């Protein structure tokens, strides 16, 4: 069942758009923050590099000025070229950036020179005299400016295939205002950068001297490579020459997050993004749960509206908190009139309202309610009463707390009417069955009376034989002995006649299904009552009777006459089965002196009842499978003169006593018919009927 909610879906779509807009705004703000922080950090790095470049230019100028002062001091103390050599060499030893120091006269003639001790002469490949024109130009400029002048840089090839970029400085030497000579110092631009620039400024950067057009003249350090390189250039303006100091650096280059504050803000922004993501996911799940809950509620309402069973919920105070449409239709009252209603309820019959209210108060006070169903009577709004079946159970909430009771109510009035009609039909059917059994009673009487009548006939025949024997005997008969025998025979005849009357009464009660009188009888007494008839027939058939009686068996509760007939019937059937076996067996194989065993012993018992087992064991042919299927069927018999009612009636009698009649085969031949009867002491005494508590309202 699928339910859709268009308004909820549209609201969810608009909310999703707002979430996307907020996410895009946060991402844009985070990107702008990082970009601005990067720009700010880049400007700081660039400004710091510019300052370092200016300091490097200042260091170079300061170093050149110190060198100039040292050269002036050297010529102020020495006026002899020979004596000048030693302090000049010492000066070059202290200042590595000076490759060659020359002392020339006023016509630029060479008076003396000294070269640095740290490397070979830089003028081996190119003779110094070939550069006389350059020296003349710089010295002319120095004389014109009355101070030091620097030449443009020029390249000196070296013997190792490399070369170096150098520059000459010319200082006019004067005496009383007259130029007496010139001091010429040749500087290595590379060494100028390495010696005059302080180490903290030159570490980690690429330091170079370039011309104004960008041509690099000298380099110190490792040039930086890449796309994020910071470059600072500062002009080195010397008298007669101008160069540019270029400083390249990647040290301090701002990364994606330039500083801790930016990284912290970025981390907070990322955390906000994560929170937004989790919140969005939670909102999606919440919307899904709300949608599922709406579908579940709609499905539940549709299911409750379609139920035919009334549902009612009550709280712990007995107030009605919920009813479904089926209950409202059942009692004919609207839900608004039932909700929050306490006792008495509007659907209680007035004559039963007091009983229902007291019973309800007892249940509420007990705080316990079973889940069993009970019947009650409700009243519709029009005043009609109807029977209901109420099944109540505790109402437990989601946290396992008992909050009230839930009732399922069924209208069973139609069912009760149907049961009444069925009961009346059953009574009529039973009456018809009793009429039909009148014919069965006639057949049953004829079957059961055969045995006592046959006994009466036998005893009467015996009496006549005694009389005939006495009249034909030549000797006078003993009157006393004859009188005793006749008295005994007449007693047996009277006993069997009385027995025939009891049989008629028992069969009559059996057919009428009337209440039977049962008594406690010793099992051996039941056997002794039928033994004369059993022994009489056994003698006629040439068989023996064996008894196996457990004297410890307790008395049984039974209809004595009917049970005796069952025992007698089973014994006669056993003897007839052995007689048929003798007639069908070959003479050489026919056994002699067959034994019919009657056994009484305790049967299996349980905690609620005890039984005594009666068994009749013959040595006949046994029962075939075809006969076994119809053995207890009425009017089925294998005897020519039989009626087919014996075993059927025997089973009916035993089952009415609560026992069981069955059979089993015996090896090598024979059959055991056994039945059970209840022990008299094991049956519960009948007492007053249990009173049922009236149903809850």
Model pLDDT for residues 331-379, shown as the tens digit of each residue: 888 877 788 777 777 888 888 877 877 777 776 666 555 556 677 888 8
**496 neighbors 451 (Cβ within 8 angstroms):** no
List Cβ<8 Å contacts ≥24 apart for 157-166: 157/125, 157/126, 158/120, 158/122, 158/124, 158/125, 159/120, 159/124, 159/125, 164/122, 164/188, 164/189, 164/190, 165/189, 165/190, 165/209, 165/217, 165/218, 166/99, 166/122
Residue 11 pLDDT exceeds 80: no
Give the burial class of 325: count Cβ atoms within 10 A of its Cβ; 0-12 exposed, 13-18 middle, 19 or more buried: middle
Q: What is the DSSP string of 250-281?
A: -TT---SS-SHHHHHHHHHHHHHHHHHHHHHH
Cα-Cα end-to-end distance for the chain: 36
Domains of the chain: 1-306 (3.30.450.20), 308-411 (3.30.450.20), 424-515 (no CATH), 516-685 (3.30.565.10)
**Separation between Cα atoms, residue 89 and residue 102, nearest integer Å:** 11
Q: What is the mean pLDDT of residues 660-671?
A: 86
Q: What is the mean pLDDT of residues 478-483?
A: 60
Coil, strand or helix at 171: strand
Percent of the chain with pLDDT over 90: 11
Q: How many CB atoms lie within 10 A of CB 204?
A: 13
Q: What is the mean pLDDT of residues 657-684?
A: 83
- Please tell me the predicted confidence (pLDDT) of residue 431: 57
Peptide bond into 344 cis (omega under 30): yes
- Please tell me the predicted confidence (pLDDT) of residue 370: 57
Higher-confidence position of 452 and 435: 452
Strands, sheet with 402-411, edge to edge from the N-terminal-most edge strand: 320-323, 310-315, 402-411, 385-396, 373-379
Give the tens place of pLDDT for each residue, 378-403.
888 888 888 888 887 887 887 888 87
Q: What is the mean pLDDT of residues 678-696?
A: 50
Residue 589 pLDDT exceeds 50: no
- Please tell me the predicted confidence (pLDDT) of residue 591: 45
Residue 184 pLDDT exceeds 90: yes
Nearest CA-CA partner of 493 in 535, 460, 527: 460
- Please tell me the predicted confidence (pLDDT) of residue 688: 34
The residues with which 663 forms a beta bridge, in sequence order, are: 673
Residue 263 pLDDT exceeds 80: no
Q: What is the mean pLDDT of residues 565-591?
A: 72
Residue 481 pLDDT exceeds 60: yes
Residue 70 pLDDT exceeds 50: yes
DSSP β-ladder status, 163-175 and 205-210 = unpaired
How much is the CA Rg of the chain, to the nearest whole Å? Answer: 69
Distances (CA, A) of 77 to 97, 98, 393, 605, 609: 23, 20, 125, 147, 149
**645 neighbors 652 (Cβ within 8 angstroms):** no
User: 183: pLDDT confidence band, cut at 50, 70 and 90?
Assistant: very high
Residue 564 pLDDT exceeds 80: yes
Give the tens place of pLDDT for each residue, 277-317.
888 788 888 888 888 888 888 887 787 777 778 888 888 77
Q: How many CB atoms lie within 10 A of CB 611?
A: 20
What does the block give as tokens for 377?
A: 């009577």
User: 677: pLDDT confidence band, cut at 50, 70 and 90?
Assistant: very high
Give the tens place of pLDDT for each residue, 590-606.
445 688 999 999 887 65
Residue 615 pLDDT exceeds 90: yes
Q: What is the mean pLDDT of residues 663-692?
A: 69
Residue 1 pLDDT exceeds 50: no
DSSP β-ladder status, 544-549 and 595-602 = parallel
Residue 169 pLDDT exceeds 90: yes
Distances (CA, A) of 614 to 45, 58, 572: 119, 138, 15
User: 636: pLDDT confidence band, cut at 50, 70 and 90?
Assistant: low
Peptide bond into 668 cis (omega under 30): yes
Q: What is the mean pLDDT of residues 120-134?
A: 81
Distances (CA, A) of 173 to 79, 449, 531: 11, 179, 176
**Highest averaged pLDDT of the listed ranges 122-126, 131-135, 678-682:** 131-135
Give the tens place of pLDDT for each residue, 208-250.
899 888 888 888 887 767 667 888 899 999 998 899 999 888 6
Give the tens place of pLDDT for each residue, 460-478.
776 776 677 666 654 545 5
What does the block give as tokens for 558?
A: 């039974």
């Amino acid at each position: 069942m699928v339910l859709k909610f268009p308004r909820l879906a549209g609201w969810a779509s608009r909310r999703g758009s707002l979430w996307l807009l907020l996410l895009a705004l946060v991402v844009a703000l985070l990107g702008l923050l990082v970009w601005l922080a990067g720009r700010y950090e880049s400007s700081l790095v660039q400004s710091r590099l510019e300052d370092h470049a200016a300091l490097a230019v200042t260091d170079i100028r300061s170093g050149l000025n110190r060198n100039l002062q040292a050269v002036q001091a050297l010529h102020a103390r020495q006026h002899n070229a020979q004596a000048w050599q030693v302090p000049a060499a010492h000066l070059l030893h202290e200042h590595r950036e000076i490759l060659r120091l020359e002392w020339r006269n006023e016509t630029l003639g060479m008076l003396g020179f000294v070269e640095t001790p740290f490397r070979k002469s830089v003028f081996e490949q190119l003779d110094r005299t070939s550069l006389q024109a350059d020296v003349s130009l710089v010295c002319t400029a120095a004389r014109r400016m009355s101070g030091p002048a620097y030449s443009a840089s020029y390249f000196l090839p070296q013997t190792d295939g490399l070369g170096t970029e150098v520059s000459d400085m010319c200082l006019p030497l004067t005496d009383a205002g007259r130029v007496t000579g010139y001091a010429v110092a040749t500087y290595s631009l590379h060494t100028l950068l390495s010696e005059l620039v302080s180490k903290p400024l030159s570490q980690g950067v690429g330091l170079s001297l370039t011309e104004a057009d960008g041509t690099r003249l000298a380099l110190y350090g490792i040039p930086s490579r890449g796309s994020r390189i910071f470059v600072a250039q500062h002009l080195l303006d010397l008298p007669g020459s101008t160069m540019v100091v270029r400083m390249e650096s990647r040290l301090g280059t701002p990364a994606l997050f330039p500083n801790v504050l930016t990284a912290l803000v970025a981390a907070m922004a990322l955390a906000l993004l994560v929170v937004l993501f989790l919140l969005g996911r939670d909102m999606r799940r919440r919307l899904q749960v709300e949608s599922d809950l709406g579908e579940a509620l709609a499905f539940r309402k549709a299911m409750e509206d379609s139920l035919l069973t009334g549902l009612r919920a009550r709280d712990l105070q007995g107030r009605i908190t919920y009813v479904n449409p089926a209950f409202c239709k059942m009692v004919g009252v609207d839900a608004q009139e039932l909700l929050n209603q306490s006792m008495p309820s509007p659907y209680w019959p007035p004559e039963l309202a007091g009983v229902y209210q007291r019973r309800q108060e007892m249940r509420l006070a007990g705080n316990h309610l079973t889940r069993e169903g009970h019947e009650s009577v409700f009243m519709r709004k029009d005043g009609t009463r109807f029977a209901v079946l109420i099944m109540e159970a505790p109402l437990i909430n989601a946290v396992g707390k008992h909050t009230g009771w839930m009732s399922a109510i069924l209208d069973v009035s139609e069912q009760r009417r149907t049961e009444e009609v069925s009961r009346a039909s059953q009574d009529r059917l039973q009456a018809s069955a009793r009429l039909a059994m009148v014919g069965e009673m006639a057949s049953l009487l004829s079957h059961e009376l055969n045995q006592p009548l046959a006994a009466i006939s036998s005893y009467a025949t015996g009496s006549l034989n005694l009389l005939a024997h006495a009249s034909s005997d030549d000797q006078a008969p003993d009157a006393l002995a004859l009188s005793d025998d006749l008295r005994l025979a007449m007693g047996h005849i009277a006993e069997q006649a009385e027995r025939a009357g009891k049989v008629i009464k028992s069969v009559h009660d059996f057919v009428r299904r009337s209440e039977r009188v049962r008594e406690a009888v010793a099992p051996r007494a039941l056997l002794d009552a039928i033994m004369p008839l059993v022994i009489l027939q056994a003698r006629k058939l040439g068989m023996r009777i064996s008894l196996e009686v457990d004297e410890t068996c307790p008395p049984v509760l039974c209809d004595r006459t009917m049970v005796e007939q069952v025992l007698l019937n089973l014994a006669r059937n056993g003897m007839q089965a052995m007689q048929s076996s003798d007639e069908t067996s070959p003479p050489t194989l026919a056994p002699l002196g067959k034994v019919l065993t009657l056994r009484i012993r305790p049967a299996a018992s349980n905690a609620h009842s005890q039984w005594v087992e009666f068994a009749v064991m013959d040595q006949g042919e046994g029962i075939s499978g075809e006969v076994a299927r119809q053995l207890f069927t009425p009017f089925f018999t294998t005897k020519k003169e039989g009626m087919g009612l014996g075993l059927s009636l025997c089973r009916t009698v035993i089952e009415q006593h609560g026992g069981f009649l069955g059979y089993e085969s015996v090896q090598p031949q024979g059959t055991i018919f056994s039945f059970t009867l209840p022990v008299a002491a094991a049956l519960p005494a009948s007492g007053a009927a249990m009173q049922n508590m009236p149903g809850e309202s």
